[in-house]
Structure 1
Amino acid sequence: MRARTIIPKKSSIEIAFRPFRESNIRAFGEEITSTSWSYLLEHPTVEDMASDFQDSLSRMFHLHFPLVNVKRRSRDKPWITKRILSLIKERQCAFKSNRMAHYRNLRNRVKREVQVQKDHFYSQKVMILRKSNPKSWHQQIRSITGMNKRATSLPGCEMRPIDQANLINGHFARICSQLPPLDISTLQYFLPASQPPPRVEAYQVHQELRKLNASKSCHHDDVPVRLITEFAPELAEPLAMIFNSSLESGIFPDCWKNSDIVPIPKTFPCNSVDLLRLISLTPTFAKVFESFLTKWLYQDIRNKIDKQQFGNIKGSSTSHYMISLIDSILKGFSALQHDESLRSQGITLEIGRAKNINKNPVAEKAVRELEDELLRDDPRGGPVTPLALALATARLNSRIRGVGLSARELWTQRDQFTSEQIPLRDMDVITNQHEKRLSNHGPSMESKAPKRLSSMGESLVHVGDLVYLRSDRTKTQARPRYLVCSVDNDWCNIRKFVGSQLRSTSYRVRRSDCLKVPPGIPTSHPSRPRVSDG
């Protein structure tokens, strides 16, 4: 008895899509251009207007962009098209019927078509990655190699899909159902409005439609954003009528309230409905209408928003919040500079002077060392990758310092080569470092001081003098002038002149950092003589 070999049938999936051919786009444009939307004003309610407009657009879209079903095998390459599959089928039929001349012709056509589609796929999917970020590289490589994302199991996976969807919908609907409905009678102080609602013009709707991003996902009942932006002039007028009718009646159309909800797990594995995050896809025209409402509401409440509000405000971000936070922290440190409770614990805060360009030398030296190490690795410079930054930091931490130990050894108290314990006390290291810096202050000041002042000794700056600061050198404008308000040994307090005004902020600087303004320089610019017409 001969055993039969059964070859498993290749699994295939059926993909449905609507191709955007130029002929279909032209036919859709001809119909939407020839349609008169004035009949929408005959509807008694705005809900009927919006529903009729939405149904008409959907009918035109489904008519001119019919649904096409294509079968694809799971092992098909991404550049395989319907034309290539049909040529392969004809080639196999010619081979089975022993028509070798026709078979060779089809075989060569298949090779040429496959090469054309490979080149097109490379130019569209791979070549563009040279200008993209590493995240796009990773996503496209997973897509090309067929690597699927990790499977996500939502709560209730043992149920039927319809029951699982009802479970998730019921959980999130329960949150809103616990809130009491809006009582219109409580708005008697605001209704009826003292002024009529603002009107939306067709050109304003056209501008908002042109701003839509065609790469974003849209609602399943919506016309694709690509068609909306292309035919924005034709859609602007009916949408303006619907928006104005909605504002006059105070009713938002029900067909624009429905949204597609996609549950996204917050953590993996997701074992509870509470660990789901909802992503909503609202109708496109509802977003356009909401953009007008948002602008008007923001104009009314803009003066009442807290100045420390950074979220949901155009032109602000977390960077602005971090700057504000650091500023408040520094102001808090300034207030604690003379706090007696901290001094009783042996804690002293030393705030850097505003006019001292070297007020944070330790951190600035560390930054310079890191820059030199990065340039030593790549002298041409350029963007710093996380790997290059990690390697440069590791080399700096392993470098032997003036105390005979590296930063890694000071931190771990172990030899970085033999891992043997190093007899070391943190207090001894701190004390030695502090004494070394104190002993270096005098020579450092003398080396950084100007040669002229080092020979003259004490600077001849007194109260009431106009002075410049050496650190204010710039090539774009004249040096600002300061007035000496008080003198305390080697230090003095100065205030800045801006035009003919004296600022209230006082700066504490060294007298050796000041340059006295020569008496021959005028304190203000002389007025230019006028040239007579004669």
Structure 2
Amino acid sequence: MNINVFSCPKILLTNVRSIRNKVDEFEATLSKYKIDLAVVTETWLNAETENLATIPGYQHFNKMRVGRKGGGVSVYSVDRLIMNHTEHHDQCNFECLWCCITIPNNIRRLKHLYVGAIYYPPAAAGAEQLVSHVIETVDRIRSANHEVPIIILVRKAPIGSSDHVSVLMKPITCLPKNDHFAVKIRPMKDSSMRQFGQWLVDYEWNNVYDLMDTNDKTVMLATTLQNAYYSNFPTELLKMRSTDHPWLTKRVKQLIKQRQKAYVKFGKSSKWKKLRNGVQKAIMDVKKSYYQDAISGLHNSDSSKWHKNVGKLCNLNQKQSFSIPGLNEKETAESINQHFADVCCQLPALDQNNLPAYLPSSQPPPEIYPGQVQRLLQSIKPKKAGHPEDLPAKLLRECAFELAPPITNVFNCALKAGTFPDRWKHATVVPVPKIKGANTCNDLRPISLTPLLARTFETFLVNWIIEDISVKLDSRQFGSRKGASTTHYLISLIDSVLKDTDASLLIEASIPEWVSLDDLDDWCKANNMLPKPSKCHVMTINFLRNASEFQPFTLNNTILECVGNLKLLGVTIQDNMKWDMHVTDIVSKASRKMFALFVMRRSRASVNDLIKVFCCYIRPILEYACPVWHGAITKKLAHKIEAVQKRALRTILGKNYISYDLALEETQLLSLAARRESLVLSFGQGLIKSALHRDMLPPCRKRKLNLRSNGGNLEVPKCKTDRYIVNLLNSK
């Protein structure tokens, strides 16, 4: 092991099925591949044969199976590594062996390595208990030390006559370089803000008012503001490094550099030890000060900055990379741009001659006043992303009063001319992957960043259009409507499915009633809709004993795939109307976010801030659209969800954690089951009070009885199946 490059051990994982008669071959394997650490399962050792499995030059820890023959796990560690058996982690009835390995002569990357040797026999009972034990043990270890090496998995031949394949894990010795790069920024200094504000107060906008053409006005306004912005807010260069921690300061970098020079020149001398201790203390101090300055107390005073700093510290906002094989970055960007442009080119251009006779309107358009524009500009979020040629959103917000008159003039000119300025039609498109591991342009979704002033103008247009057509909108139109959400749509869909299956009716498709399933292809073409067959699936929901078989459905001459489950608006729906796959999905997502709690704990975060991180980033994943599925999950699934919060509280409280009930009381949190009950009740009460969604609930009873039952005032329809009874719209 080359300790001068990267001191991470080479690890072998193997199942030997009795090591007693394979000791010589096992020793030869360790020598041939220069194994530093070996984890062996199914050793079949007992108290009498344990000494027969020792290997010269290796430390050996073993845990035998209790109660019956076979099984057992062992860990072998080369003598130059310091290995300690952490017996307090092995207090369980499973075949688990936990060891802590200290790697000497490693001053930067890896100091401690925790190894868990686990053997779980096929078809054995207690799988959930074993998983819980592993999670709890890992949580305790990560709370104290969270340093993970980089490894590569390589398959090797089995040991002796064993029928199991071994796994060899090698460390990566060529680590990625710390690339330095410079970023141009325009700091929003107070002096620059005052200087720009004074320019706005003194400036006369006659160059905009005197123009008659809408496009000319828009260009003149944008050019004037852009020139003033560039002159009052000069650029600065900010040097950064891709691997820098957010808390890393220039002083800490200098101390690390001095420590490394001392190690190269003097080795582990007293001078090096002094510098090493100084670096460790400096890192602890800057972490604590960074947390106090950048995170602590900001949740109430500046929640946006709090979320930004927490995401940066915990690396919660990871961006997926995308590349096309054989193309460089510029060619990849051109390919993506062409792909998005082709989508629009497939649709026919608007023929104004085919517009209804009453268009364009003979009535003059409404007039916009500066006060209205000012209020909209002041409502812009300071961090809102805009077009590269835009003024920063913060500047538009702060100078709304001075900017309102010229902007209003451009808006009214566009309304009178009946045209949308050409400059506002340009957008910066940000491709966002739809799936993890996107590798084709079809896996990307375009997010268009249009100018902020264009969006402000569109706000007026949208409000007028909605006001005009709101009385004609379908009651089942949930998108882009106030008071409606994805939960409302999913509730309506699931209720209609369960209602029809309860009445032993077959559902053909969830499309407009006036369009049959066979005519869907023609309907899409007539309405300029271009659905992709690869993204369309057929899921049959049928609970009849003698289920009918449907003919394959085709779209664009392509047979659609029949699936047993699909994800709709973030919720996994199964053809048996059960929710085990959805619960497994949300538990997995929430568990991946648990890393944030460990990072925050290492940054000396308070318990209150740890609770806020859990409530903001982890708990919402477990509660999304819970009115859709809460009433239909089993106790086992509810316990699986609750275990995530239990694990989070164990991490938050650390040594102070005694029991789940006491932890809930100390943190003043409700159990997730109680919160779901409250959310469902609140959602139902919202339906009763909503003029838009009141018809989603059963009607009120004609005669109100003074019963203690909740929801006794609603006329609950008769149900034939338990599936429909537990649905929200029929639950009490």
Which of 458, 471, 483 in structure 1 is aligned with 2:707? 471
CA distance 1:16–1:385, change in 2 (3 Å): farther
Which of 337, 355, 359 in structure 2 is aligned with 1:191? 359
CA distance 1:211–1:142, change in 2 (3 Å): closer
Aligned to 1:227: 395
Is 1:296 aligned to 2:464, yes or no? yes
Q: Secondary structure at the match of 2:431?
A: strand
**CA shift at 1:218, angstroms?**
1.7
Q: Does the 8 Å CA contact 1:12/1:73 hold for their aligned counterparts?
A: yes
Q: Secondary structure at the match of 1:14?
A: strand
Question: What amino acid sits opposite 2:661 in the alignment?
Answer: D
Question: What amino acid sits opposite 2:481 in the alignment?
Answer: I
Structure-1 separation of matches of 2:385 and 2:460 = 21
Question: What amino acid sits opposite 2:294 in the alignment?
Answer: K
Which of 269, 294, 303 in structure 2 is aligned with 1:125? 294
Is 1:383 aligned to 2:669, yes or no? yes
Question: What amino acid sits opposite 1:195 in the alignment?
Answer: Q
Structure 2: segments with no counterpart, 5+ residues: 1-176, 259-281, 506-543, 547-630, 647-658, 676-702, 719-732
Q: Does the 8 Å CA contact 2:323/2:329 hold for their aligned counterparts?
A: no
Structure-2 separation of matches of 1:363 and 1:247 = 52
Superposed CA offset, 1:298-346 (max 9, x none): 1121122111111121111123234434654676578669xxxxxx989
Question: What amino acid sits opposite 1:275 in the alignment?
Answer: D
Structure-1 separation of matches of 2:504 and 2:385 = 53
CA distance 1:471–1:275, change in 2 (3 Å): same
Is 1:165 aligned to 2:165, yes or no? no
Aligned to 1:274: 442
Question: What amino acid sits opposite 2:669 in the alignment?
Answer: P
**Correspondences of 1:194-273 after superposition (within 5 Å):** 194-273=362-441
**CA shift at 1:227, angstroms?**
0.8
CA distance 1:272–1:115, change in 2 (3 Å): closer
**Correspondences of 1:20-99 after superposition (within 5 Å):** 20-73=188-241, 78-79=246-247
Aligned to 2:322: 153
Is 1:16 aligned to 2:252, yes or no? no
Q: Does the 8 Å CA contact 2:411/2:457 hold for their aligned counterparts?
A: yes
**CA shift at 1:146, angstroms?**
7.8
Q: Does the 8 Å CA contact 1:206/1:236 hold for their aligned counterparts?
A: yes
Superposed CA offset, 1:147-167 (max 9, x none): 994762322x53233322221
Q: Does the 8 Å CA contact 2:247/2:286 hold for their aligned counterparts?
A: yes
**CA shift at 1:12, angstroms?**
3.0
Is 1:317 aligned to 2:317, yes or no? no
**Correspondences of 1:355-366 after superposition (within 5 Å):** none
Structure-1 separation of matches of 2:238 and 2:316 = 22
Aligned to 1:431: none
Give the alignment's TM-score, normalised by structure 1.
0.54
Q: Secondary structure at the match of 2:457?
A: helix
**CA shift at 1:284, angstroms?**
0.4
Superposed CA offset, 1:348-383 (max 9, x none): xxxxxxxxxxxxxx999979x989999994155543
CA distance 1:335–1:15, change in 2 (3 Å): closer
**CA shift at 1:216, angstroms?**
2.1
Alignment size in residue pairs: 351
Superposed CA offset, 1:104-150 (max 9, x none): xxxxxxxxx99997666323434258789xxx999867744889947
CA distance 1:295–1:507, change in 2 (3 Å): closer
Structure-1 separation of matches of 2:491 and 2:342 = 40
Output the aligned Cα RMSD.
5.0
**CA shift at 1:173, angstroms?**
1.0
**CA shift at 1:221, angstroms?**
0.8
CA distance 1:334–1:227, change in 2 (3 Å): same
Q: Secondary structure at the match of 2:461?
A: helix
Question: What amino acid sits opposite 1:383 in the alignment?
Answer: L
**CA shift at 1:228, angstroms?**
0.5
Q: Secondary structure at the match of 1:71?
A: strand
Q: Does the 8 Å CA contact 1:266/1:277 hold for their aligned counterparts?
A: yes
Structure-1 separation of matches of 2:704 and 2:348 = 68
Structure-1 separation of matches of 2:632 and 2:400 = 56
Q: Secondary structure at the match of 1:378?
A: helix
Superposed CA offset, 1:206-265 (max 9, x none): 111111111222211111111111110111111111011001101111111111111122
Structure-1 separation of matches of 2:178 and 2:497 = 66
Q: Does the 8 Å CA contact 1:154/1:265 hold for their aligned counterparts?
A: no
Q: Does the 8 Å CA contact 1:18/1:66 hold for their aligned counterparts?
A: yes
Q: Does the 8 Å CA contact 1:50/1:253 hold for their aligned counterparts?
A: yes
Structure-2 separation of matches of 1:203 and 1:116 = 50
CA distance 1:262–1:328, change in 2 (3 Å): closer
Which of 335, 347, 366 in structure 2 is aligned with 1:179? 347
CA distance 1:363–1:73, change in 2 (3 Å): closer
Structure-2 separation of matches of 1:10 and 1:507 = 66
CA distance 1:372–1:304, change in 2 (3 Å): closer
Is 1:284 aligned to 2:452, yes or no? yes
CA distance 1:117–1:244, change in 2 (3 Å): farther
Structure 1: segments with no counterpart, 5+ residues: 1-8, 92-112, 338-343, 347-361, 390-466, 481-495, 497-504, 509-534
Q: Does the 8 Å CA contact 2:642/2:672 hold for their aligned counterparts?
A: no
Structure-1 separation of matches of 2:283 and 2:704 = 76
**Correspondences of 1:514-529 after superposition (within 5 Å):** none
Structure-1 separation of matches of 2:228 and 2:716 = 72
Question: What amino acid sits opposite 1:202 in the alignment?
Answer: P
Structure-1 separation of matches of 2:317 and 2:634 = 48
Give the alignment's TM-score, normalised by structure 2.
0.41
Q: Secondary structure at the match of 1:219?
A: coil
**CA shift at 1:11, angstroms?**
5.3
CA distance 1:326–1:507, change in 2 (3 Å): closer
Structure-2 separation of matches of 1:81 and 1:181 = 56
Question: What amino acid sits opposite 2:440 in the alignment?
Answer: S
**Correspondences of 1:336-351 after superposition (within 5 Å):** none
CA distance 1:468–1:217, change in 2 (3 Å): closer
Superposed CA offset, 1:436-458 (max 9, x none): xxxxxxxxxxxxxxxxxxxxxxx
Q: Secondary structure at the match of 1:127?
A: coil
Q: Does the 8 Å CA contact 2:642/2:671 hold for their aligned counterparts?
A: no
Q: Secondary structure at the match of 2:215?
A: helix
Q: Secondary structure at the match of 1:313?
A: coil
Structure-2 separation of matches of 1:302 and 1:148 = 37
